[in-house]
Amino acid sequence: MKKIYLLFTALTIALTVNAQDNKLITTIQNRQGLSLNGAWQYIIDPYETGFYDYRYKELSEKSGDAYWNTDKQVNKTEKKEHGYSDKNTLQVPGDWNHQEQRFEYYEGTVWYKKSFDYKKQAASNRVFIYFGAVNYKADVYLNGKKLGEHKGGFTPFNFEIPDTLLKGTDNFLVVKVDNKRYADEVPTLNTDWWNYGGITREVKLVEVPKLFIQDFMIQLKKADHGKLSKQSEVEGWVKLNNVPADGETITISIPELKFEKQFKANGSVVPLNFSLSRVKLWSPDSPKLYTVNVSSKTDKAEDKIGFRTIEVAGKQVLLNGSPVFMRGISIHGEIPQEIRRAYSYNDALQLLNQAKELGCNMVRLAHYPHDETITRMADSLGLLVWSEIPVYWTIDFKNQQVLTKAKAQLNEMITRDHNRASVIIWSVGNETPVSSTRTDFMHSLITEARKLDHTRLISAALEVNYSALNDQNVIDDPLGEFVDLVAFNEYLGWYGGLPDKCRTTNWSTIYNKPLFISETGGGAKGGFHADSLTRFSEEYQEWYYKEQISMLRRMPDNFVGISPWVLNDFRSPKRNNPIYQEGWNRKGLYDDKGNKKKAFYILQAYYKEMQEKQSAIGK
């Protein structure tokens, strides 16, 4: 008993220490403030003239040539060589590539400018500017002063606006956005997806009291080998932005369960530990969410939270104590019909409905954290989620700064979504090449992820060496030792020979852990029909899926699911077959117009069968 208590204390300390590192305000949806979405004026600046002088030295803060400074001419003799104008506007949120022809292939700097008026509700309140995501680097300036900078194209960040800087009217907000690729960034130079640039997600002013609730995590305690107690044990913490005065308390209430409890706040991070009775557990079949209110003396926050447990027990993944088979699909955060990044409610609805139609109970959101709308919608539609940071292929594993950048993105991903019941797996990367330097790097990310959240599973998509394939293939990547779920990308019949190779090939792992196929797929141009030996025909892809599924039936008993590659055709500069690809990766089960390909129906039938099997076991 003592041991368990000590372990819990250690875990709580680990959680609280990490929670303190991050300045991100979560659950901003119901906060007062001002949306800064809409039209922003822009200047396209490939030479970064607004940032460097002609000797390529950074311009001084007050320089009239700096694009973060006013573009107004003071008098007619003043020489102004930049200016923002309604002739040039971009919609925010939204990548720039799809908005104007001249941005289609653009990688570089664009300056965005927005004027706004804002009156605070109370003089003592604090105001932050919040960005859902900017790809890749953002330098943010208000009224000529720099508020901060952020790197990482798929995660949220915020900066406080000092009182002295915020004016009631006509604030001059400028964001320098740069989506150039570099070898020492995350992702690195080389990816199989389009490098959409811009302010791709929402921008908002958020007003909070002086002492406010910055973040909280409320989750069911991990079950112990499937044993769930009648009383559901909840653990977590609430993080205030500062150390409160003596006598501060935090109240948690869940009205639907008639639950309310107060916790003494002895520091800025307040550990929570309580039990709930009669909780209806969250699952794909019954995605029940509860409104949870968190309040301090001065502040209130609210979220909709589902309660469920997820764990690995031997060869199985247990959801609420019962084995689950993941009928997944990998998804890029892109709307192919409009060739743009996904960001809105309707975008999330389109993608998740497509997955539902396929018969999925799980989605792999590849290869970077998607918009928050989609993980929230997965909560309410009942889809399990694999969420990933863009540690993709060959990043600079020996570089400590790259590790720091990857950790920052991991931290932001987990912080944003640590209350989502749908998210069951944090992935620290995809197809990273085996070496001890790589393994140390990835192990360090895994350790960090566990510190931030010990209630979920940690994984990474491992890769298969096709040149060394034989009939019995054993996944033995050393990273397997550190993950909860051994996941691998397997393209037998597309990258390794023809699909009939699946007839004699078997897969297993040296690790006594559940095994998951995080990718498999082949390309087909929608509407192109030929015999099944013809690459890029729908018939080839259909054959590929048929052979794959027969192979899946021979998988060992630790096989717990699959997320084939990929839901929709997606843009990629690496796919240049002039007849079948034209800049698209064609492995979608839907083509770029939203039409289903023949292979869709093969996977759909398999999923139906697996679902029926699972419900038969459940009964």
Residues that bind ligand GCB (CB under 6 A): 192, 367, 430-431, 489, 519, 565, 585, 587
C-alpha to C-alpha distance for 374 and 356, rounded to whole angstroms: 13
Non-local (6+) Cβ contacts of 109 within 8 A are: 44, 45, 46, 48, 50, 51, 176, 177, 178, 180
Max Cα-Cα span within the chain: 83
**Nearest distance from residue 386's CB to ligand GCB, in Å?**
13
**Nearest distance from residue 494's CB to ligand GCB, in Å?**
8
- For ligand GCB, which is the closer residue by CB, 303 or 538? 538
Q: Which residue's beta carbon is nearest to the bound ligand GCB?
A: 192
**Nearest distance from residue 106's CB to ligand GCB, in Å?**
22
C-alpha to C-alpha distance for 556 and 548, rounded to whole angstroms: 14
Non-local (6+) Cβ contacts of 159 within 8 A are: 128, 129, 140, 147, 148
**Nearest distance from residue 495's CB to ligand GCB, in Å?**
7
Closest CA to 236 of 218, 261, 262: 218
- 60-68 long-range Cβ contacts below 8 angstroms, 24+ apart: 61/144, 61/145, 61/146, 62/144, 67/43, 67/111, 67/174, 67/176, 68/111, 68/139, 68/141, 68/144, 68/146, 68/174, 68/176
- For ligand GCB, which is the closer residue by CB, 186 or 319? 186
C-alpha to C-alpha distance for 233 and 231, rounded to whole angstroms: 6
**Nearest distance from residue 585's CB to ligand GCB, in Å?**
5
Identify whether the C-beta of residue 330 lies closer than 8 Å to the C-beta of residue 241.
Answer: no
C-alpha to C-alpha distance for 577 and 581, rounded to whole angstroms: 5
**Nearest distance from residue 506's CB to ligand GCB, in Å?**
20
**Nearest distance from residue 188's CB to ligand GCB, in Å?**
13
Non-local (6+) Cβ contacts of 473 within 8 A are: 464, 505, 506, 507, 508
**Nearest distance from residue 575's CB to ligand GCB, in Å?**
8
- For ligand GCB, which is the closer residue by CB, 350 or 581? 581
- For ligand GCB, which is the closer residue by CB, 190 or 291? 190
- For ligand GCB, which is the closer residue by CB, 441 or 584? 584
Q: Which segments within 179-240 are labelled E, that is strand?
A: 203-208, 213-220, 232-240
- For ligand GCB, which is the closer residue by CB, 244 or 564? 564
Identify whether the C-beta of residue 175 lies closer than 8 Å to the C-beta of residue 36.
Answer: no
- For ligand GCB, which is the closer residue by CB, 221 or 438? 438
List Cα–Cα distances, 508 to 462, 475, 513, in angstroms.
Answer: 13, 6, 10
- For ligand GCB, which is the closer residue by CB, 308 or 367? 367
**Nearest distance from residue 196's CB to ligand GCB, in Å?**
15
- For ligand GCB, which is the closer residue by CB, 371 or 519? 519
C-alpha to C-alpha distance for 276 and 254, rounded to whole angstroms: 10
**Nearest distance from residue 523's CB to ligand GCB, in Å?**
7
**Nearest distance from residue 394's CB to ligand GCB, in Å?**
12
**Nearest distance from residue 570's CB to ligand GCB, in Å?**
8
Tokens of 464: 């298969």
- For ligand GCB, which is the closer residue by CB, 587 or 597? 587
Helices (H), 266-332: none
C-alpha to C-alpha distance for 415 and 517, rounded to whole angstroms: 27
Tokens of 401: 């700064």
- For ligand GCB, which is the closer residue by CB, 135 or 283? 135
**Strands 362-365 and 330-331, bridge-based pairing:** parallel
Helix (H, G, I), strand (E, B) or coil at 232: strand
C-alpha to C-alpha distance for 98 and 444, rounded to whole angstroms: 37
What are the two backbone dihedrals, phi and then psi, of residue 316, each rounded to the nearest 5 degrees? -110, 160
Q: Using the Cα atoms of residue 204, residue 207, residue 213 and residue 219 in order, give the sign of their dihedral.
A: negative
- For ligand GCB, which is the closer residue by CB, 268 or 568? 568
